[in-house]
Amino acid sequence: MKSVRSDAVSRRRVLKGAATVAVASSVPTGWAIAQAKPLKVGLMLPYSGTFAKLGENITFAVEILLAEKGGKLGGREVQIVKLDDESKPENGPQNAERLVKRDAVDVLIGTVHSGVQMGIHKVVRESGTLCIVPNAGANAVTRELCAKNVFRTSFTNWQPAHGMGLALGKRGIKKAAWITWDYAAGAESGDGFKEGLAKHGGEVVKTLTLKFPETNFQPLLAQIPDLGVEAVGSFFAGGGAIQFVKEYKAAGIKVPLCGSGFLTEGVLGPQGDAAEGIETALHYGDGVDNPKNAAFRKAFKDKTQRDADVYAVKGYDAAQLLALGLEAVKGNLEDEANLYKAMRSAKFDSPRGAVSISPSQDIVHNIYLRRAEKGENKVVGIAAESLADPGTGCKL
Ligand code: BEZ
């Protein structure tokens, strides 16, 4: 069976061959033929399950950026192909192959779940397809497994939780627990939290986990009062985060709950009073004050009747980064050297504030400290300014 990589390479060779013939016979070049075709952008995201709303918000935001650009990127019409990955890691590689091989997408934007991301990553590394990660934080994607065709506009799992650990450590917290789903996002966020805390002499004395996407929190919550900790850090998101925060409050646990900001992001409405006062750290928050954010929030509300959240922001930025790269090469994806150069050196205004791309092609951004108050994740400080992931092991 032919590999995806050899298909992609031979597709490029066909185009290059066509260009050579065209010069001799003055018919349109291979590139001119390719340019006339719409640019196919695959959105591989969860549209069902616990992360469904996250995938929807990313999609709406991509559509908003496209509409702002008149439906074209780098002069090319854009055709969107959507695929529901259901946040199922076991189907990740097969779903990514469907987009890359069957649908022949030129660009893949995806996904939310770190485990599914690893499946996408395997496929796009082999095929050379340009991939922009709009949420999943799996560290390896922009660390030891980084690739020149893969960019991330979201975060590494390490980043937000590291900010939370630093903030607790600075205020003198010495003993904390970590509670999460047992998969990459939970474990890697836990490492970031632990490292942040340790910088100020604090430690995580206990880690409590359950399988993704299970929500049987009671046996874990029951252990917390006897741990002798001053804070409980956590990573949960989407539907699971709603239930966790409500059950934590209902259990009457006196130890303050905090976490990576996904814990309260986009879910404060259904969490209600249970979320009041919870501190989290994230690369976005209510009260981030800049013109880009004001315009984006309005556009998002007008389109969806929902308030924008961090997922929407990262989807918008995935499309912003793609637009910026394609504009630099006038829509010619074959000009990889200049496309990647433009994307790597990108500095742009995100609704979250000014951002840039790190040498390992992850995003560099502020990590805000937020407190949940009356339905808002109010920014109360900066936990880490312009924080770049260490990019450990990445050689590009
Ligand atoms: C992740 O799996 O990487 C993830 C999922 C939801 C929110 C944040 C991160």
Helix, strand, or coil (residue 76)? strand
Residue 306 CA to ligand 1 centre (angstroms) = 21
What integer is the mean pLDDT of 19-32? 46
User: What are the φ and ψ backbone dihedral angles of 363, each rounded to 5 degrees?
Assistant: -90, 145
- The mean pLDDT value of the chain amounts to 93
pLDDT of residue 33: 54
As to burial, measured by CB atoms within 10 angstroms (0-12 exposed, 13-18 middle, 19+ buried), residue 24 is exposed
Q: Please compute the mean of the pLDDT values over residues 184-200 and round it to a whole number.
A: 98
Q: Verify whether ligand 1 is closer than 6 Å to residue 112 (CB atom).
A: yes
Mean pLDDT of 290-312: 98
Residue 16: what pLDDT?
34
Cα dist. 264→97, 222, 241, 377 in Å?
Answer: 33, 22, 7, 7
pLDDT-derived band at 172, boundaries 50, 70, 90: very high
Q: Which residue in 211, 233, 161, 153 sits closest to 191, CA to CA?
A: 161
Average confidence (pLDDT) over 76-103: 98
CA of 154 to the centre of ligand 1 (A): 10
Instruction: Quote the ligand 1 centre to 113 CA distance (angstroms).
Output: 5
Instruction: Flag whether pLDDT at 35 surpasses 80.
Output: no
Number of H helices, E strands in the chain: 13, 15
Which residues lie across from 204 on neighbouring strands?
A: 176
Position 376 scores a pLDDT of: 97
Section 287-307 average pLDDT = 97
Q: What is the pLDDT of residues 115-147, one digit of tens each?
A: 999 999 999 999 999 999 999 999 999 999 999
- What is the structure's pLDDT at 225? 98
- Is the model's pLDDT at 1 over the cut of 90? no
Atom 9 of ligand 1, nearest CA residue: 136
For ligand 1, the distance from its centroid to the CA atom of residue 238, given in whole angstroms, is: 9
Q: Give the model's pLDDT for residue 3.
A: 41
Q: At 123, list the tokens.
A: 């496929």
Write the pLDDT tens digit of every residue in 229-275.
999 999 999 999 999 999 999 999 999 999 999 999 999 999 999 99
Distance CA 6, CA 246 (A): 51
Specify the residue for token string 């954010």: 293
* Rounded-to-integer distance, Cα 207 and Cα 186, Å: 10
Calculate the alpha carbon distances from 151 to 114, 121, 282, 339, 358 in Å. 15, 11, 19, 12, 10
Query: Which residue puts its alpha carbon closest to atom 5 of ligand 1?
Result: 113
Is residue 2 predicted with pLDDT exceeding 70? no
Q: What is the pLDDT of residue 159?
A: 98
Section 151-163 average pLDDT: 98
Q: How confident is the model at residue 31 (pLDDT cuts 50, 70, 90)?
A: low
Q: Please, are residues 178 and 208 in contact by the beta-carbon 8 Å criterion?
A: yes
Task: Please tell me the predicted confidence (pLDDT) of residue 321.
Answer: 98
Q: How far is CA 195 from CA 161, 163, 204, 366, in A?
A: 9, 10, 9, 18
pLDDT of residue 323: 98
Structure tokens at 4: 């995806």
DSSP state of 389: P
Residue nearest to atom 7 of ligand 1 (CA): 237
